[in-house]
A and B are shown apart, each in its own frame.
Chain A
Amino acid sequence: SQTIHQWPATLVQPVGSPLSLECTVEGTSNPNLYWYRQAAGRGLQLLFYSVGIGQISSEVPQNLSASRPQDRQFILSSKKLLLSDSGFYLCAWSVLRERTQYFGPGTRLTVL
């Protein structure tokens, strides 16, 4: 069966520091991968999606970037964190014909 991992689970970072969040998927090949952000008490904002290795599309301009160095690995990065980057970051995967998106356990990021 498919499994999705995210780490770290929680992170506290100072403003201006770099960021790297990792997501890996097991049990499937060539998944579509997604990064979402959820501010406290708010909905799900799609940040990036990827349909294959090295293929990244951004939904909203922001202080973040994403990379997909391997088929089942998706990385979210920032060179300098802002206070507004705080939130719950969720990675998700889907397989095109199966339609459903499944979420990872998330990383709770606090920028101080």
Chain B
Amino acid sequence: GENVEQHPSTLSVQEGDSAVIKCTYSDSASNYFPWYKQELGKRPQLIIDIRSNVGEKKDQRIAVTLNKTAKHFSLHITETQPEDSAVYFCAARWETSYDKVIFGPGTSLSVIP
């Protein structure tokens, strides 16, 4: 069935280091891959997304890569800052009648000052 796996479940890095979160998906029909950041007690907020016809996308310190053949995608955060501490969710979308999105279980990122 449809599934999105995400690793690691927790990640702790020193301020200024890079953080990488990896996700895999099961359905090759997936065509859109958003990443959300959720701070404690807040709603998930979209931080970056990538479409299936693109291999990489970058927005300042955040980048996402997609390997459709291997069915995996990754989030890269460079020069991490304490405010990057949050839970990050990857997701994969199937184009059905209702924009079905399956979320990964989340990665809790802690940036140590």
Contact = CB atoms under 8 A, between A and B. Distances in A.
Nearest to A94: B99
Interface residues of B, number: 21
A82 interface: no
Contacts of A101: 34, 99, 101
B43 A99 contact: no
Interface string B3-45: 0000000000000000000000000000010101000011111
Interface string A76-95: 00000000000000100010
Nearest to B6: A43
Contacts of B73: none
A103 B99 contact: no
Nearest to B36: A103
Interface in A48-104: 49-51, 57, 90, 94, 96, 99-104
B32 A43 contact: no
Given A100-B34, A103-B43, A43 B106 contact: yes
Contact of A100 (B49, B100, B104): B49
Given A90-B44, A103-B44, A32 B103 contact: no
A102 B36 CA distance: 10
Given A43-B89, A43-B105, 14 more contacts: A42-B106, A49-B100, A50-B98, A57-B98, A90-B43, A94-B99, A99-B93, A100-B46, A101-B34, A101-B101, A103-B44, A105-B42, A106-B43, A108-B41
